[in-house]
Chain A
Amino acid sequence: MVQIVVSSVGNSPGEWLLVELQGEMMSRQNAGLAGNLMGDLHYTKEGIPVLIVGHHILYGKQVKLEKPFAVLVKQSGLPQGADVSMESSVQSPTVYTVSALIKKKLIFKTRPKPIITNVPKKV
């Protein structure tokens, strides 16, 4: 039987925020998402989250999660930089560490409002 350990890093993992969006994230040049800008997250004075992504304005709301999430990160079995001898047949068990807990989310469900940027220049 396979046994995988899920453990916490240190004592209490930090808390992250979840943002839930409808649809997919596509990068403009199809070059992958890593390193790219996503958008600006504003909050109105009443606390309503507003996300400006590309040409869209998304309105959402803050929700406390009934069931919190844990972010699990798989650790490779071998310690980094270790010299693995070929005779070693002991397999380190797979370990997932809990990097963070998520207790609330911003959910953006309303239809994105398009931003019209092609404003005719003032004459």
Chain B
Amino acid sequence: MRTIEEVQATLQIAKLKEEDFHPTVHCLSFGEHVSSGDYCLMELDETLCKHIEAGKSLTIRGDKEEHAVLCSEDKTYDLKIADTSNLLLFIPGCETPDHFPRDQSAPNLVHAQVWGFSNNYWELRRQHPRLKKLKKLLMEKPYAGLLAGVEEGSDGNTLRYTMEDLLDRIQASEKEILSQLQDIHACEIDGYWRILDFDYEMKLLGHVTQLVDSESWSFSKVPRSVSLQELGPLEPKEMIEHCLNCYGRRYTDEDREVYFALDEDKVCQAMAQMLLQNAVKFNLAEFLEVWQQSVPEGMTTRLDQLRSIALVDRSSRPETISLLRVEDLPEDTLERFSCLFSMREKWTEEDIVPYIQDLCGEKQTTGALLTKYARSSMQNGRKVYNSRRPVAT
């Protein structure tokens, strides 16, 4: 082992004065496993660092075709290897002057070993998890009520997924998966997560809205117990309650009674989807009229409720409207833009923003996305966006 005298001699040969330096010197050598260990460096952000310090674990999820992602309990990060032209050495037990004990005067030799070294590290970038696969999996066998037929396949392959199954197949954190399940109105039946067949979901909603109308209730005060009692004979109570939870907000009033406040926007959106899904496009004026009539008494339909659900064509005569849901579009940014531009050559910002909003990364604006993936021009005094690359027609 190197001695303090040898260190001092080296300083002398190097023509450096001992008095210019701190008395603590670290004598560095290479550890036994420096070249043989299976290790790597991973870059963290503040959140992940605190996560690890709290003793929580992370999961890396990946497939042969997919990139690998890192998931905490509620966030997903893209994982990439970054190379550096420099050499990174990591050393335990090596201190910096701000941590040295005060009032040191005697020379102090500390032996420290370089535990490992690397010229690359794992880089993490926070991203929107790829959740489209989740709906695709659940759509393999939508739930259409008890009368819809046998649930299990003959070979026991039920095409149904538990949360564990989903975590095994979807590159996202559990919380993000749960949030998406809520958004698509999925519910847990017999331990399996199921998406409702759309017609069945509308049937349930129809039962609820018809009851509200016939009882002349305010749609903000739909009593839970009476609803379940009246509609129970028609459909399982759990499904009625699930419908009320999807389309309303549950609350308890001063009399300790449980009510649901139906969400006007959600109900109107569902009715619009029901009307629009049966044809390629509709006459806008006719649609608006029928749509208003289809929603419960007291609710008002508004075109802005249909942002990211339907697209209006104001250039055609008569003006038309068609179903276009952002969740049906490609998840990948480049593919999304290609798809949108193949549908329509030029888009106004107002029309396109609802269909690209979800692509924005952390601290990224739709404006930045448009600058990057589209080209702008003026048409009839308005700014429009079109594709940067030739689109196959």
Contacts and interface: CB of A to CB of B under 8 A. Distances in A.
Interface of A: 1-8, 10-14, 16-25, 32-45, 47, 49-50, 52, 57, 62, 67-74, 98-102, 104-107, 115, 117, 119
Contacts of B14: 52, 57, 115
B198 interface: no
Contact of A36 (B10, B15, B30, B121): B30
B43 interface: yes
3 closest Cβ pairs, A-B complex: A7-B57, A74-B38, A41-B26
Given A21-B86, A37-B29, A101-B53, 6 more contacts: A1-B62, A1-B66, A8-B55, A20-B88, A34-B30, A41-B94
Interface of B: 2, 7, 10-11, 13-16, 20-22, 24-45, 49, 52-63, 66, 70, 85-92, 94-98, 112, 114-117, 121-122, 167-169, 171
A24 B117 CA distance: 11
Contact of B28 (A13, A18, A38): A38
A51 B362 CA distance: 40
A100 B114 contact: no
Nearest to A98: B52
Contacts of A99: 39
Contact of A45 (B15, B21, B62, B96): B21
9 contacts: A4-B60, A16-B94, A19-B90, A22-B85, A41-B25, A47-B96, A70-B52, A71-B116, A104-B96
A71 B27 contact: no
A36 B98 CA distance: 28
Contact of B91 (A19, A23, A34, A45): A19
Contacts of B117: 25
